[in-house]
Amino acid sequence: MNILELREIVYSAAGREILAGLSFRIKVGEVHALLGTNGTGKSTLAHMIMGCQGYHPATGEISFNGFPINDLKIHERARLGISMAWQEPARFEGLLVRDYLTLGKTIEKPESALRLVGMEPSRYLGRMVDRSLSGGERKRIELASVLALQPKLAILDEPDSGIDMLSTDDIIRVLDRLRSGGSAVLLITHRDEIAEAADQASQICGGRIVCTGKPAQVAAVFKSRKCISCDGEVCNNE
Ligand code: ADP
Ligand code: MG
């Protein structure tokens, strides 16, 4: 059973085709890593699955739990159980960490969600979610907010640039918790060691999925091709 299925998605922005007939599936409860160099369409895909404004596909279908969701807005998709860790929780400035971690129908306690991302609850629950937190702390709190929700599908898009803020161990711990809570995860990452903690992996190139299989296989293909330019070749090891 697929929790998420995208079929032949085409999406253009500013006169450029960014997703070029992309097809992709994630099974219920599966951690699925998405590998791809910069500019291949990873974040565009993440925003489209979440239903962010301006990311409606020109053609193609997105279904969640077997139902088409193309026309659902972001909050409707959130209600169905799709959740995304944003790079910055700044839009919620003015909230305490405790309030931020109990927004919506949360399942995991804020204390335990914070511990899972390596933060001591007594030091953070009473802090404001604002610029007084470091970039790394905000990123961890973002992840904690996804953990607190235990969504049916969690979208984790690592930043394209800048210093990676969570250790491999932290991410693997978070993935294990999401998996044991029954969440499926779309994990966008550059790091092989993290991709290898996934159940399945896909490589995106030129706005299409060019390879799907076990993480170690896909990571090896990704590295060997270096993906400097897309040869359009499709390998599928499912
Ligand atoms: P990735 O996350 O894989 O690095 P993105 O999905 O952010 O890639 O972007 C894919 C390509 O689409 C990039 O070349 C980017 O510049 C371009 N792009 C993304 N959004 C827009 C937009 N709104 N207008 C024009 N080009 C865009
Ligand atoms: Mg990106």
Non-local (6+) Cβ contacts of 225 within 8 A are: 231
Measured CA to CA, the distance from residue 187 to residue 149 in angstroms comes to 17
| Tokens encoding 208 | 């299409």
| Any ligand 1 atom below 6 A from CB of 40 | yes
Nearest Cα to Cα of residue 5 among 47, 66, 53:
66
Per residue in 137-193, pLDDT tens?
Answer: 888 888 899 999 999 999 998 764 333 567 788 888 889 999 999 999 999 987 878
Nearest Cα to Cα of residue 24 among 205, 152, 220:
205
201 alpha carbon to ligand 2 midpoint, in Å? 17
Location of structure tokens 């170690």: 216
Non-local (6+) Cβ contacts of 82 within 8 A are: 49, 50, 51, 64, 151, 152, 153, 155
* 132 pLDDT above the threshold of 50: yes
| Any ligand 1 atom below 6 A from CB of 93 | no
Q: What is the mean pLDDT of residues 20-42?
A: 94
**Closest ligand 1 atom to Cα of 44:** 6
The strand ranges marked E within 149-199 are 153-157, 184-188
Tell me the best of 11, 16, 34, 158 to mutate to test the pocket of ligand 1, counting ligand atoms within 8 Å of each CB and taking the most.
Answer: 16
CA distances from 193 to 155, 167, 196, 216 (A): 18, 11, 5, 9
Q: Name the CATH code of domain 1-81+152-162+186-238 (choices 3.30.70.1280, 3.30.465.10, 3.40.50.300, 3.90.650.10).
A: 3.40.50.300
93 alpha carbon to ligand 2 midpoint, in Å? 23
Nearest Cα to Cα of residue 42 among 171, 237, 236, 186:
186
| Any ligand 1 atom below 6 A from CB of 12 | no
8-state DSSP, 71:
T
- Higher-confidence position of 94 and 1: 1
142 alpha carbon to ligand 2 midpoint, in Å? 16
Q: What is the mean pLDDT of residues 206-224?
A: 90
| Any ligand 1 atom below 6 A from CB of 36 | yes
Sequence ranges of the domains in the chain? 1-81+152-162+186-238
* 229 pLDDT above the threshold of 70: no
- Ion ligand 2 neighbours (CB, 5 A) are 42-43, 160
Q: What is the mean pLDDT of residues 20-48?
A: 94
